[in-house]
Amino acid sequence: MKTDYIELFDTTLRDGTQGEGVNLSINDKLSIAQKLDEFGIDIIEGGWPGSNPRDEEFFQKVSKLNLKKAQICAFGSTARFPDKISTDANLNALLKAETPIVSIFGKTWKFHAEKGLGLSETENEELIFKSVRYLKDHGRKVVFDAEHFFDGFKNEKQFALRMLKAAQEGGADVITLCDTNGGSLPNEIFDVVQEAGRTVNRQIGIHTHNDGELAVANSLIAIEAGASHVQGTINGVGERCGNANLISIIPNLLLKMNLKTKQKINLDELTLLSNYVSEVMNLVPNTRAAFVGNSAFAHKGGIHVSAVMKDSKMYEHIDPYTVGNKQRVLVSDLAGQSNIKYKAKEFGVELSENNELSKKIVKHIKSLEYEGYQFDGAEASFELMLRSETNEFSPYFKLLDSKVHVTFDNQKHSSVEAVLKIEVDGEIEHTAANGAGPVNALDNALRKALLRFYPEISAIKLLDYKVRVLNEKSGTAAKVRVLIQSGDGIETWSTVGVSENIIEASWQALCDSINYRLFKIEREKDVCTS
C-alpha cells in the first residue's frame, strides 16, 4: 500500500548509537531529538526501553519536550515465546515507554528462526502475529521490522513472505523490509520490494545498511519500487559500515525524485543538522560527504572554476544554498586566473581588470605549491599573500633574531626556551619564554613580545596543529608542511609554513596566524570609522 508521501523514520538515537565511537548521553539524545523535530522528521526511534535503564529514562524525559512535528517511537523485539506474550518483559517495557508508535523486529530468515530462536516455521509465524496483535490491542501504531528480510527471501522466499503476512494479520501499520547485513544490490532490492508489495496490503518500509556502500541507493530504489516509509540515520552512523544516510536520502527524494514528504522539510538546514549531530556525537564531519560536506561544492581545477563562474550548473548538480551549503573555490597549483579572481572577489579584492597581476599571482602560487605549500586548507595565508601583492598588507612585526634551546636527558627531564628579538614600528622587543615544546615556546615568546603593542592577540588560541612530511625519502632531513588552525571565539582561520626545519615552518604559520587576525581587526576598525 503506497502513500502519496514518503514517511521519514530516523533511528540515529537507536541504531545509530550502535556505531563504533558513538556515545550519547540522555541530554545528547534529547537535544538531537529536538533538532530532528524542527527539521521535519516524522518518526524518531529513541531507543530500546527493555534493554537498559538509560533508554527508559530517555522516554520519560522526551515526552516533556513538546515536539511539534515528530512522533517518538520505542524499539524492541517480538516476544521470546509464543505462549508467553502477555508476560513478555520486552513487550511490556515497550508499552511502559508510552510512545504512540512502537517498532519491533521479528525473524524473517528461516535460518535465524531455527538456529537463533529454535522455532519452527509455524511457531515463528505465531510469535510475530501475537506480538504485533498484543501491541495493537494496547493502542499502539506498530512498525514491524522484517529482520534479514532480503537474505531470508533469497534463502527461502515463501518463509519470508509468510512472516510478512503474519505481521499484517496481527495488525502492523508499516512493514519494513530490512537489509540487515547490508549485502544486497539495487536490482535485488527493487524486485523483492515489488513482490512484497504484491503480497501484503500495508505501507512498505525500507531499512538498509551500508556494508556494500549501497545503503542510500538501495533505499531510493526501494522507494521507486513502492516503499513509502524510509529508515536511516543522520550522517549514516550505525553498526559496522553504518546505516542508510538520511542526509543524502532526503535531498535526493525532494530534488531528484520530485517526491513529497509527510512534513515540510527545512532543506536549507540540512548542512546545519548534519554538522550539529556530528558535533554532539564528537565526530569529525566528513568533508567529502555528498550535499553537506565542506568539499561537496569545492572547485580546484582552473577550467572548472572558469565554467562555474559563468554558470555554476556546469559543475554543480544542485544549488549548494538549497541544502544550506556554499560554493568554494580552492587555490592550488591547478589554479588558473579564474580561481584567483574568484578568491579575490570573495576577499573583497578587485582583480577583474588586472590580468597581468592575476597571471603573476598564479605563477607565484604554482611556484610555492611546487615547494610544498598548500593553500586549500590555509586560506588565511593565501589572503595575506594576495593582499601583499596588491600592496594592502605588510607584516605588523619583523623578526630580527631567534634562538630555541631544547634540553633533555635519560631521566626524562626536559626544558624548552625560545628567545626572540622582534621589531614593531621601529621599537625592538627582546623576550624569552618557556613552553611544553619548541613550537609552544615560540608561540609564548611571540605573544609576550607583541602583547604591549597589540593587546588584541590575547584572544587568539591555537586550535589545531598538523605536520606533513613532504619528501619521505629524505628521512629526517625531509621538508615538512605545517598547518595551523587558530581562533578567537568569533572566527577560525588556517595558515601554512614550509621548511626542512620544522621549527621554522611552524614559525611561518604562527606569524601568518597573528598577522591575519591583526589585519582583520584593523580592517574592521576602518569600516567602523568610515
Dist. CA 94–CA 90, nearest whole Å = 6
3-state helix, strand, coil in the chain (%, to 5): 45, 20, 35
User: pLDDT at position 334, please?
Assistant: 45
Q: What are the backbone angles phi and psi of residue 483, rounded to the nearest 5°? A: -115, 125
DSSP 459-470: G-EEEEEEEEES
Dist. CA 262–CA 266, nearest whole Å = 12
For the chain, percent of residues with pLDDT exceeding 90: 62
Q: Determine the distance from the C-alpha atom of residue 99 to the mean position of all C-alpha atoms in its chain, rounded to a whole number.
A: 29
- Of 69-83, 185-199, 303-317, least confident by mean pLDDT is 303-317
Query: What architecture is domain 7-265?
Result: Alpha-Beta Barrel (3.20)
Inter-residue contact 386 to 347 (CB < 8 Å): yes
Dist. CA 437–CA 439, nearest whole Å = 6
User: pLDDT at position 478, please?
Assistant: 78
- Of 51-65, 163-177, 209-223, least confident by mean pLDDT is 51-65
Q: pLDDT tens, 131-172?
A: 999 999 999 999 999 999 999 999 999 999 999 999 999 999
Dist. CA 452–CA 457, nearest whole Å = 10
Mark 281-304 as b/e (b = at least 16 C-beta within 10 Å).
beeebbeebebbbbebbbbbbbeb
Residues facing residue 43 across a β-bridge? 9, 71
Residues facing residue 209 across a β-bridge? 243
User: pLDDT at position 135, please?
Assistant: 98
Write the CA distances from 378 to 57, 143, 494, integer angstroms.
Answer: 45, 49, 5
The three cell numbers locating residue 347: 576577499
Taking residues 80-95, report their average pLDDT: 93
Dist. CA 54–CA 222, nearest whole Å = 34
Taking residues 321-326, report their average pLDDT: 89
Pairing of strands 492-499, 203-208: unpaired
Residue 317 has pLDDT above 90, yes or no: no
Domain locations in the chain? 7-265, 298-371+379-388
Residue 314 has pLDDT above 50, yes or no: yes
- Of 432-441, 456-465, 474-483, 508-517, least confident by mean pLDDT is 474-483
Share the mean pLDDT of the chain: 88
Which H helix or E strand runs over 72? strand 71-77
User: Quick one: which of 345, 299, 346, 294 has its CA closest to 324?
Assistant: 294
Residue 185 has pLDDT above 70, yes or no: yes
Write the CA distances from 195 to 174, 206, 210, 234, 255, integer angstroms.
Answer: 16, 14, 23, 29, 27
Name the band, by pLDDT with cuts 50, 70 and 90, for residue 333: very low
Residues near 362 by Cβ (< 8 Å), separated by ≥ 6?
A: 335, 336, 337, 339, 340
Q: Determine the distance from the C-alpha atom of residue 424 to the mean position of all C-alpha atoms in its chain, rounded to a whole number.
A: 43
Residue 36 has pLDDT above 90, yes or no: yes
Give the angle subtended at the CA of 401 by the CAs of 395 and 404, to the nearest 5°.
115
- Of 174-183, 189-198, 317-326, 422-431, least confident by mean pLDDT is 317-326
pTM of the model: 0.71
Residues near 153 by Cβ (< 8 Å), separated by ≥ 6?
A: 108, 160, 161, 192, 195, 196
For the chain, percent of residues with pLDDT exceeding 70: 86
Residue 196 has pLDDT above 70, yes or no: yes
User: Quick one: which of 54, 51, 58 has its CA closest to 72?
Assistant: 58
Residue 332 has pLDDT above 60, yes or no: no
User: pLDDT at position 343, please?
Assistant: 55
User: pLDDT at position 462, please?
Assistant: 87
User: pLDDT at position 354, please?
Assistant: 57
pLDDT: is 32 or 349 the higher one?
32
Q: pLDDT tens, 231-273?
A: 999 999 999 999 999 999 999 999 999 999 999 998 999 999 9
Q: Which residue is listed with cell 598588507?
A: 393
Taking residues 208-233, report their average pLDDT: 98
User: pLDDT at position 226, please?
Assistant: 97
